[in-house]
Structure 1
Amino acid sequence: MVSSTKIKSVDFYRKIPRDLTEASLSGAGLSIVAALIMMLLFGMELSSYLEVNTTTAVVVDKSADGDFLRIDFNISFPALSCEFASVDVSDVLGTYHQRMFLSSYMIQYMMYLLPLTELGPRGTGAEFHSGLALHNINYGEEIHGEENKEEFPDGAIPLTNGSFEAFSHHFPLLIVNFYAPWCYWSNRLKPSWEKAATIIKQRYDPEADGRVLLGNVDCVEEAALCKRNHIQGYPSIRIFRKGSDLKEDHGHHEHESYYGDRDTDSIVKMVDGLVAPIHPVTHKLALEGISNDTAKHLKKAPVTGGCRVEGYVRVKKVPGNLVISAHSGAHSFDTSQMNVSHVVTHLSFGRLMSPRLLTDMRRLLPYLGQSHDRLDEKAFINEHELGANVTIEHYLQIVKTEVITRKSGQEHSVIEEYEYTAHSSVAQTYYLPAAKFHFELSPMQIMITENPKSFSHFITNLCAIIGGVFTVAGILDSIFHNTVRMIKKVELGKNI
């Protein structure tokens, strides 16, 4: 067996008997200072160990071919009706989608005549859908020649701003064709409309029966009347009701729009379906209601001229365009009267992040997420005079940022953030005014990698701090002690 004496011989820390050591005030003070320095350096080293370190690199975008990018948007248009608002998405590869928005909402304002600079998304009404796609509308056979024109004279009553209110309060049903003389689709509708109005006048005599009247409004001559009813596309067929369906809202009635076929038989069938539930004597609604076949072509007309378009689209990661404008395959628009001023409530690219995740990521990088919503809560107003055909364009350059963490020696992609720069312009155009968002993704991406610290490195630094401070304090104490002894010897020699 190895004796304890031999084991003691390898002791690095040989002890001096306590009787041979001497404590001093200077040593005690230096020990306290050394202990405080050790605690301070320990706290700094612990904070450095807990702090997340990252490295940032710019690399070629690692997105795979065929990856899609999500665009979320919430944009308010005070002067673009939901009846015709649409979102078109296209890219340089030729991919094209039309009317891709999830939903559109009518903007509700205190008064619709407020200046645009005072308007804002103060609230929303019920979700609005125009229903059937207005592309394959049946107009029937067009009437040509003077002979046919005399056979079916104008049956619809011309309405003016003065007579409109009187007729709408007198007849249980007032069905109005808001048209423009220069409009191709209005001229296509006119023969069928006048023929249908003549048939309806003979079937439901306005004086003897008095349940329905068909009228026309020339929106060039009666611009104020059309504006008050938020007519933005021509022709627009609106159904105004009297009695229980009459609701005053700043001088406006709740009414419906007709989106069905525009041939004579379809119009007459629509009117018959609306008239049937109304008692011919009392003009009260009967219990059976309107037929489903008639109701499917009727939608509540917009009660304001504004619209909020909200939703998302998924696009390929190539340069493209997001365009919001009026669109219809069976209406004409007076471009000189259109206004696409808008307020961007929200516009972002990529997956939406929860506030908690965004907060955690900002712990890694304080500046992360500061440029992913550059256009939010910004207004873009057309200040040109009416008739200028103004398009508002936004040029967006998008950069992808990917954050990678390391856990258990393996890399994990935590988040993909898309930040962008935005430059906007207002320009006159010969085409239909629109709000255009041109987006282009950078071929480079920013990669942020987390660098976790080794625990063994932390322990090594901790030992170095304790040992180093202890050693330096010992050296200082020894120097101070020897200096005092030398001074005392010198003074003692002088006294002798």
Structure 2
Amino acid sequence: MFSSNKIKSVDFYRKIPRDLTEASLSGAGLSIIAALAMMFLFGMELNDYMKVSTSTSVVVDKSTDGEFLRIEFNISFPALSCEFASVDVSDVLGTNRLNITKTIRKFSIDAFLNPTGSEFHPGPLPKDIKHGDEVDEGHGEGCVSLTSDNFDRYAHQYPVMAVNFYAPWCYWSNRLKPSWEKAAIIMRERYDPEFDGRIIMGKVDCTQEGDLCRRNHIQGYPSIRIFRKGSDVREDHGHHDHESYYGDRDTESLVKTMESLVAPVPLESHKLALEDKSDNKTDSIKRPAPLTGGCRIEGFVRVKKVPGNLVVSARSGAHSFDASQMNMSHVVSHFSFGHKISPKVLKEVKRVTPYLGGSIDRLNGQSYFSRHGDAHANVTIEHYLQVVKTEVITRRPSGGEYKLVEEYEYTAHSSWVQSIYIPVAKFHFELSPMQVLVTENPKSFSHFLTNVCAIIGGIFTVAGILDSLLHNAVRMAKKVELGKNF
């Protein structure tokens, strides 16, 4: 057993009796300054300990999220009809997917980007449209040539008016012409306009009647529109419900479709019934015609992680397009790579890396317009996107690493390219082979305690040295003064 005296011999902090100590004004001042300095440095050290520390490095991309990348977008085209709007994807490996519809939604909009109806549904259409084998023998015209001057008059006169909007230079228009004329002759013979008056077939040359075609939002040739006088004609100043026809274009199919349109119209009143109760299969090849010429396209596509293109264009297997009339101006509401970050994860991301907080989407909110009718018309708008992946690695409370998020950021450069081909909106993307790795660096509590002790001990020691120097200086000064007096 050790005695108490032996234990006391290892005391590092031997006490001096209070009677032998002397307080001084200078010592009190230094003590107050030292205490304030200790509190200030302790607060700084505590703040640094609580602050998240990260390290950023650039490494080779070793993605673990698969070989496909998700691209989400919301783009408005004020001059591209949903009727022909197509989203295509291609890449350098040979992938070429046309007119993606499964993950894409379309909404008709006007020139001011305002929605004009519910979601646009293309509906089931024939894969290959059948054309007739007739040859234009010049046997006379069975349909009426419509112009801006007589279009409304004919539309208000006949309960059903089928119109072929065409262009003389169009291959598909020329293939339709003989079948359309022959079908018009047959319908004129069966339903004489003077005695029956329930249907009339017409045609509009869009190279001569550009304003009339634009008014009906014609963008592809030929476009077959069916105008049917509604029950609210008087109240709505002659309003007509109209549809687009996408069925076969041979004479037999056209005549059968026209017959189905005439069937529900009473002969004596020339008014369209409120409901078509006839059971025919032509409804599957008709759908409401676009009321406006714009389209908002939103959704996502999955692409391979190689250089590729996402292209929005006007596409149809049985229509032609006038490149000089196409305008691919658009407004990008949203365009991003990868999956959206949940609010919970986003909060944690902001804690670790405040500058991220969601990817930097350079195209969001940007407008790209080509002025129609001048040197900027008939242009393809291209966007070149350089995509870089960022991974954020955080630390679990129990220890160990945890991949918090995989995020994609990109830079964008846009250009307007004039071309003789049908203009498109092209988003060319290329992923960097490198990725940015942001790692949260944990801080040791023992290191924090060591720094706190160093702060307290260091300031206490330095203050003691200063107090001793000051006290000795004052004492020396007093001795010198007493020596002079004697």
TM-score normalised by the chain length of structure 2 = 0.92
Q: How far apart are 1:356 and its partner, in Å?
A: 6.3
Question: Do the aligned partners of 2:82 and 2:108 also contact (CA within 8 Å) in 1?
Answer: yes
Question: Do the aligned partners of 2:228 and 2:272 also contact (CA within 8 Å) in 1?
Answer: no
Alpha-carbon distance in 2 for matches of 1:376, 1:92:
26
Alpha-carbon distance in 1 for matches of 2:154, 2:370:
37
Say whether residues 1:413 and 2:415 are aligned partners. Answer: no
In the alignment, which residue of structure 2 is the partner of 1:2? Answer: 2
Corresponding residue SS for 1:267:
helix
In the alignment, which residue of structure 2 is the partner of 1:441? Answer: 431
Alpha-carbon distance in 2 for matches of 1:480, 1:66:
71
In the alignment, which residue of structure 2 is the partner of 1:299? Answer: 287
Alpha-carbon distance in 2 for matches of 1:441, 1:315:
11
Say whether residues 1:236 and 2:200 are aligned partners. Answer: no
Question: Do the aligned partners of 2:352 and 2:394 also contact (CA within 8 Å) in 1?
Answer: no
Q: Structure 1: 5+ residue runs without aligned partners?
A: 110-118
Question: Which residues in structure 2 correspond to 1:351-362 (within 5 Å)?
Answer: 351-354=339-342, 357-358=345-346, 360-362=348-350
Q: How far apart are 1:258 and its partner, in Å?
A: 1.1
In the alignment, which residue of structure 2 is the partner of 1:132? Answer: 124
Q: How far apart are 1:482 and its partner, in Å?
A: 2.1
Q: How many residues align?
A: 481
Say whether residues 1:30 and 2:35 are aligned partners. Answer: no
Q: How far apart are 1:143 and its partner, in Å?
A: 1.2
Q: Which amino acid aligns with 1:129?
A: H
Question: Are residues 172 and 249 of structure 1, via their aligned partners in 2, closer, same or farther at CA, if it must alter by over 3 Å?
Answer: closer
Q: Which amino acid aligns with 1:128?
A: F
Alpha-carbon distance in 2 for matches of 1:247, 1:85:
35
CA deviations 1:330-360 (Å, max 9, x no partner) are: 1011112111122222211112235664464
Question: Do the aligned partners of 1:245 and 1:254 also contact (CA within 8 Å) in 2?
Answer: no
In the alignment, which residue of structure 2 is the partner of 1:171? Answer: 158
Say whether residues 1:324 and 2:326 are aligned partners. Answer: no
Say whether residues 1:196 and 2:186 are aligned partners. Answer: no
Larger deviation, residues 456-465 vs 18-27? 18-27
Q: Which amino acid aligns with 1:373?
A: D
CA deviations 1:407-446 (Å, max 9, x no partner) are: 2442211122211121211112232111111111111111
Question: Do the aligned partners of 1:92 and 1:320 also contact (CA within 8 Å) in 2?
Answer: yes
Question: Which residues in structure 2 correspond to 1:479-490 (within 5 Å)?
Answer: 479-490=469-480
CA deviations 1:141-187 (Å, max 9, x no partner) are: 311374xx64xx43222211111100111111111111112211112
Question: Are residues 450 and 65 of structure 1, via their aligned partners in 2, closer, same or farther at CA, if it must alter by over 3 Å?
Answer: closer
In the alignment, which residue of structure 1 is the partner of 2:135? Answer: 144
Question: Are residues 343 and 47 of structure 1, via their aligned partners in 2, closer, same or farther at CA, if it must alter by over 3 Å?
Answer: same
Q: How far apart are 1:364 and its partner, in Å?
A: 3.4
In the alignment, which residue of structure 2 is the partner of 1:392? Answer: 381
Q: Which amino acid aligns with 1:92?
A: V
Say whether residues 1:312 and 2:303 are aligned partners. Answer: no
Say whether residues 1:60 and 2:60 are aligned partners. Answer: yes
Q: Which amino acid aligns with 1:389?
A: N
Alpha-carbon distance in 2 for matches of 1:338, 1:326:
9
Question: Are residues 245 and 80 of structure 1, via their aligned partners in 2, closer, same or farther at CA, if it must alter by over 3 Å?
Answer: farther
CA deviations 1:10-66 (Å, max 9, x no partner) are: 222122222222222222221111111111001100111111111111111112595
Q: How far apart are 1:319 and its partner, in Å?
A: 0.3
Question: Are residues 464 and 6 of structure 1, via their aligned partners in 2, closer, same or farther at CA, if it must alter by over 3 Å?
Answer: same
Larger deviation, residues 56-65 vs 81-90? 56-65
CA deviations 1:74-108 (Å, max 9, x no partner) are: 11112111110101100000111111251111113
In the alignment, which residue of structure 2 is the partner of 1:213? Answer: 200
In the alignment, which residue of structure 2 is the partner of 1:115? Answer: none
Question: Do the aligned partners of 1:274 and 1:290 also contact (CA within 8 Å) in 2?
Answer: no
Q: How far apart are 1:467 and its partner, in Å?
A: 1.1
Question: Are residues 231 and 164 of structure 1, via their aligned partners in 2, closer, same or farther at CA, if it must alter by over 3 Å?
Answer: same
Alpha-carbon distance in 2 for matches of 1:249, 1:448:
63
Q: Which amino acid aligns with 1:404?
A: I
Question: Do the aligned partners of 1:135 and 1:330 also contact (CA within 8 Å) in 2?
Answer: no
In the alignment, which residue of structure 1 is the partner of 2:141? Answer: 154
Question: Are residues 168 and 106 of structure 1, via their aligned partners in 2, closer, same or farther at CA, if it must alter by over 3 Å?
Answer: same
Larger deviation, residues 411-420 vs 33-42? 411-420
Question: Are residues 40 and 72 of structure 1, via their aligned partners in 2, closer, same or farther at CA, if it must alter by over 3 Å?
Answer: same
Question: Do the aligned partners of 1:134 and 1:330 also contact (CA within 8 Å) in 2?
Answer: no
Question: Do the aligned partners of 1:229 and 1:252 also contact (CA within 8 Å) in 2?
Answer: no
In the alignment, which residue of structure 1 is the partner of 2:261? Answer: 274
In the alignment, which residue of structure 1 is the partner of 2:416? Answer: 426
Alpha-carbon distance in 1 for matches of 2:295, 2:236:
18
Corresponding residue SS for 1:329:
coil
Within the candidate set 106, 110, 116, 1:108 is matched to 110
Within the candidate set 351, 356, 379, 2:367 is matched to 379
Question: Do the aligned partners of 2:326 and 2:378 also contact (CA within 8 Å) in 1?
Answer: yes
RMSD of aligned C-alpha atoms?
2.5
Question: Do the aligned partners of 1:66 and 1:316 also contact (CA within 8 Å) in 2?
Answer: no
Larger deviation, residues 428-437 vs 380-389? 380-389
Say whether residues 1:334 and 2:322 are aligned partners. Answer: yes
Q: How far apart are 1:456 and its partner, in Å?
A: 0.7
Alpha-carbon distance in 2 for matches of 1:124, 1:451:
53
Corresponding residue SS for 2:299:
strand
Alpha-carbon distance in 2 for matches of 1:426, 1:252:
40
Corresponding residue SS for 2:300:
strand
Question: Are residues 386 and 272 of structure 1, via their aligned partners in 2, closer, same or farther at CA, if it must alter by over 3 Å?
Answer: farther
Question: Are residues 481 and 88 of structure 1, via their aligned partners in 2, closer, same or farther at CA, if it must alter by over 3 Å?
Answer: same
Question: Are residues 94 and 357 of structure 1, via their aligned partners in 2, closer, same or farther at CA, if it must alter by over 3 Å?
Answer: same
Alpha-carbon distance in 2 for matches of 1:122, 1:97:
30
Q: Which amino acid aligns with 2:108?
A: M
In the alignment, which residue of structure 2 is the partner of 1:114? Answer: none
Question: Which residues in structure 2 correspond to 1:446-465 (within 5 Å)?
Answer: 446-465=436-455
Question: Do the aligned partners of 1:369 and 1:419 also contact (CA within 8 Å) in 2?
Answer: no
Q: Which amino acid aligns with 2:92?
A: V
- Give the share of equivalent positions with the same residue, in percent: 67
Corresponding residue SS for 1:161:
coil
Question: Do the aligned partners of 2:378 and 2:423 also contact (CA within 8 Å) in 1?
Answer: yes
Question: Do the aligned partners of 2:110 and 2:293 also contact (CA within 8 Å) in 1?
Answer: no
TM-score normalised by the chain length of structure 1 = 0.90
Q: Which amino acid aligns with 2:282?
A: T
Alpha-carbon distance in 1 for matches of 2:53, 2:384:
35
Q: How far apart are 1:214 and its partner, in Å?
A: 1.3
Q: How far apart are 1:129 and its partner, in Å?
A: 2.6
Q: Which amino acid aligns with 2:329?
A: S
Q: How far apart are 1:494 and its partner, in Å?
A: 3.1
Question: Are residues 79 and 27 of structure 1, via their aligned partners in 2, closer, same or farther at CA, if it must alter by over 3 Å?
Answer: same
